[in-house]
C-alpha cells in the first residue's frame, strides 16, 4: 500500500476521479451553455484584450467601482428588470477623470438595450454608426456604474460586456467554456474506459477459464475465435458498427468490450493450464468436486491479481478507441467527450482561428489518463509477478 501511495499516477487518478465526480460544481453554467464570444482566449494570455464580464446593480449594491485596463469590449448590453422601475432615477456611468456622470438609461423596469441599437447610441450622443462600447470605455482606469439618487429598488441592472477572453481555457466555436467541457469530458473517458475494460475482463476471464479448464474442442474452438478476432483491425469494425447501430455511449462500451477480451482470455487460460494439474486441484477433483466449484472457489481467486493488472493496462486502449471514434464524428453529439472536442476543433477550424486552447486540453487529457493507467498497470504487474513465480500452494 505504501508503494502505491508513492506513485504519481495514483494521486493523478484520484484527482481526475474527483474532478469527474465534483468538477461540475466549479462552474456556474452547464458546459453546453454559451458563456462568451466564440474562440475567446484564456484569461491569462493577451492581457490587453478585454475579458467577458458582467456587472450587476441591485438594492444591496447600488454602485460598483471597477478598473478597466484593457481595450474596449467588442459588445455590450444593458438590461433592467423586473417591471418595477423608479422614475427620476437613472443608471449612471462615470468615466475615469470625468467630473460628471453619463446617463446610460432611465431606471425603467424591463429596459433592454444593446450597444449596437441606434436609439441607445443616440441617447449617448453618438452618431448612428458610432461604437457605443468604444465610446463608453474610451479610457483605461477606474470606472463606476451606479444608480442615481436614493430609494429602494427591487430589481437588478445587468451590464454585460463581451470581450475576447474568458475563463481558464477560453471558449470554443460556440462560445462554450472549454474548461467546463474539459471537466465534463473526464467523466466520459473514465466511464467508457473502465466499463468497457470491466466487461472485456469479465468476458475474457469466463472464456479463459472455460478454455483452460475444460480443454478439448472447447479450447480449440475458443482459441481459433481468439486468433480470428485478434487479426481483425479494430477501428474499421468500430466505424461500421457505430454507423449502423447507433452512436450511443453504451453501444460503444459494448462493442469495445467485445473486441478486447481476447488478451485476457489468453492470459487466464495460460494460468489455468499451469494450475489445473496442481496436486490440490487434483485432490479436489478426486473428492468429487464439480468443475464449477473448483473454478469458482479455487481457480478464479488465483487469477484475480493478474486480472487486476491486465485490466488496468487495458483501460488506455478503450479510452483511445473511444477518442478515435469520437474524433471521426461517430459518437453521440450530445455527449461531451475529449475526442468529440477534438472533432469539433478540427471541423470548425480551431487552428485557422489559432485557438490552440481548444486542442491542447482534451489531447493532453487523453494522454495523461492513458499514462496514469499504464503506470498503475505496470506497478500492479510488478506486484503480481513474484507471487506468480512462487507457484502453487501445495
Partner 1 sequence: MNYWGRRISGALLVLALVLVLNFLLFRLMPGDPVASIVDPRFSPEAKEQLRKMYGLDRPLPVQFALYVKSTLTFDFGISFLTGLPVAQELRSRVPNTVILLGTSLLLSAALGTWLGMKAALRRGSLLERCVLWSGALSFSFPSFFVQLLLLMFFASMIPLFPLRGTLSVPPPAGGPALLFDYLRHMALPVFSLVLLGFGGWAIYVRNLTVKILGEDFILLARARGLPRKNILRGHVFRTMLPPLLTIFLLSLPSVVSGAVITETVFSLHGVGRFLLEAVTGHDYPAAGAAFFLLSLLTVTCNLLSDLLYGITDPRVRLERGNR
Helix 216-231 vs helix 262-276: crossing angle, to nearest 10? 150
Cell readout for 367 is 494522454
In the complex with partner 1, the residue whose CB is nearer, 22 or 351, is: 351
Here the contacts of 248-252 (C-beta below 8 Å, separation 24 or greater) are: 248/332, 249/188, 249/191, 249/192, 249/331, 249/332, 249/335, 252/192, 252/196, 252/322, 252/325, 252/331
Exactly one of 6, 59, 240, 304 binds partner 1 (CB under 8 A); that residue is 240
Q: How far is the CB of 329 from partner 1 (least distance, A)?
A: 7
Q: Which of residues 17-46 bind partner 1 (CB under 8 A)?
A: none
Exactly one of 328, 348, 383, 384 binds partner 1 (CB under 8 A); that residue is 328
Q: How far is the CB of 367 from partner 1 (least distance, A)?
A: 4
Per-residue x/- marks for partner 1, 193-232, CB under 8 A? -----------------------------------x--xx
Q: How far is the CB of 229 from partner 1 (least distance, A)?
A: 11
Q: Under the criterion CB under 8 A, does residue 245 sit at the interface with partner 1? A: no
Q: How far is the CB of 393 from partner 1 (least distance, A)?
A: 31
Cell readout for 173 is 466555436
Per-residue x/- marks for partner 1, 365-394, CB under 8 A? -xxx-xx--x--------------------
Question: Phi and psi at residue 266, in whole multiples of 5°?
Answer: -65, -45
In the complex with partner 1, the residue whose CB is nearer, 118 or 240, is: 240
Q: Could you give the CA distance from residue 252 to residue 234 in angstroms, rounded to a whole number?
A: 12
Q: How far is the CB of 159 from partner 1 (least distance, A)?
A: 36
Classify each residue of 149-169 as buried b or exposed e, where b means 16 or more C-beta atoms within 10 Å of its C-beta.
eeeebebebbbbbbbbbbbbb
8 Å CB contact between 91 and 145: yes
Q: Under the criterion CB under 8 A, does residue 323 sit at the interface with partner 1? A: yes
Q: Pick left, alpha or beta for residue 349 (phi over 0 → left; psi -120 to 50 → alpha; otherwise beta).
A: left
Per-residue x/- marks for partner 1, 334-363, CB under 8 A? -----x--x--xx----xx-x-x--xx-xx
If 0-12 CB within 10 Å is exposed, 13-18 middle and 19+ buried, where does residue 305 land?
middle
Stretch that binds partner 1, among 63-71, 103-111, 178-186, 315-323 (CB under 8 A): 315-323
Q: How far is the CB of 204 from partner 1 (least distance, A)?
A: 20
Applying CB under 8 A, the site for partner 1 has a residue count of 37
Q: How far is the CB of 72 from partner 1 (least distance, A)?
A: 27
In the complex with partner 1, the residue whose CB is nearer, 290 or 354, is: 354
Q: How far is the CB of 331 from partner 1 (least distance, A)?
A: 12
Contacting residues toward partner 1, per CB under 8 A: 228, 231-236, 239-240, 243-244, 316, 320, 323-324, 327-330, 339, 342, 345-346, 351-352, 354, 356, 359-360, 362-363, 366-368, 370-371, 374
Amino acid at each position: 500500500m505504501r508503494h502505491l501511495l508513492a506513485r504519481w499516477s495514483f494521486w493523478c487518478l484520484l484527482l481526475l476521479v474527483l474532478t469527474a465526480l465534483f468538477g461540475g460544481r466549479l462552474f456556474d453554467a452547464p458546459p453546453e451553455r454559451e458563456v462568451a464570444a466564440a474562440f475567446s482566449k484564456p484569461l491569462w494570455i493577451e492581457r490587453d484584450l478585454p475579458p467577458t464580464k458582467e456587472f450587476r446593480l441591485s438594492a444591496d449594491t447600488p454602485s460598483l467601482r471597477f478598473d478597466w485596463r484593457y481595450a474596449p469590449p467588442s459588445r455590450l448590453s444593458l438590461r433592467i428588470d423586473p417591471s418595477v422601475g423608479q422614475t427620476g432615477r437613472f443608471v449612471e456611468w462615470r468615466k475615469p477623470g470625468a467630473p460628471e456622470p453619463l446617463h446610460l438609461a432611465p431606471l425603467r423596469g424591463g429596459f433592454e438595450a444593446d450597444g449596437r441599437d441606434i436609439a441607445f447610441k443616440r441617447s449617448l450622443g453618438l452618431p448612428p454608426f458610432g461604437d457605443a462600447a468604444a465610446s463608453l470605455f474610451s479610457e483605461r482606469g477606474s470606472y463606476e456604474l451606479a444608480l442615481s439618487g436614493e430609494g429602494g429598488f427591487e430589481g437588478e441592472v445587468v451590464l454585460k460586456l463581451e470581450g475576447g477572453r474568458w475563463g481558464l481555457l477560453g471558449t470554443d466555436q460556440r462560445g462554450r467554456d472549454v474548461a467546463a467541457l474539459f471537466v465534463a469530458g473526464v467523466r466520459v473517458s473514465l466511464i467508457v474506459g473502465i466499463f468497457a475494460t470491466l466487461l472485456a475482463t469479465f468476458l475474457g476471464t469466463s472464456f479463459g477459464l472455460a478454455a483452460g479448464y475444460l480443454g478439448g474442442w472447447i479450447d480449440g474452438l475458443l482459441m481459433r475465435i481468439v486468433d480470428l478476432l485478434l487479426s481483425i483491425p479494430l477501428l474499421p469494425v468500430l466505424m461500421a458498427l457505430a454507423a449502423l447501430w447507433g452512436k450511443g455511449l453504451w453501444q460503444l462500451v459494448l462493442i469495445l468490450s467485445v473486441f478486447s477480451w481476447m488478451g485476457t482470455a489468453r492470459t487466464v487460460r495460460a494460468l489455468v493450464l499451469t494450475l489445473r494439474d496442481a496436486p490440490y486441484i487434483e485432490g479436489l477433483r478426486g473428492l468429487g468436486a464439480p468443475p464449477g466449484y473448483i473454478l469458482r472457489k479455487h481457480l478464479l481467486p488465483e487469477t484475480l491479481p493478474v486480472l487486476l493488472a491486465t485490466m488496468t493496462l487495458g483501460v488506455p486502449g478503450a479510452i483511445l478507441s473511444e477518442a478515435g471514434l469520437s474524433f471521426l464524428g461517430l459518437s453521440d453529439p450530445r455527449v461531451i467527450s475529449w475526442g468529440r472536442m477534438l472533432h469539433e476543433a478540427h471541423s470548425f477550424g480551431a487552428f485557422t482561428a489559432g485557438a490552440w486552447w481548444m486542442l491542447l486540453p482534451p489531447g493532453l487529457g487523453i494522454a495523461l489518463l492513458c499514462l496514469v493507467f499504464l503506470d498503475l498497470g505496470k506497478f500492479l504487474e510488478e506486484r503480481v509477478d513474484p507471487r506468480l513465480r512462487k507457484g502453487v500452494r501445495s
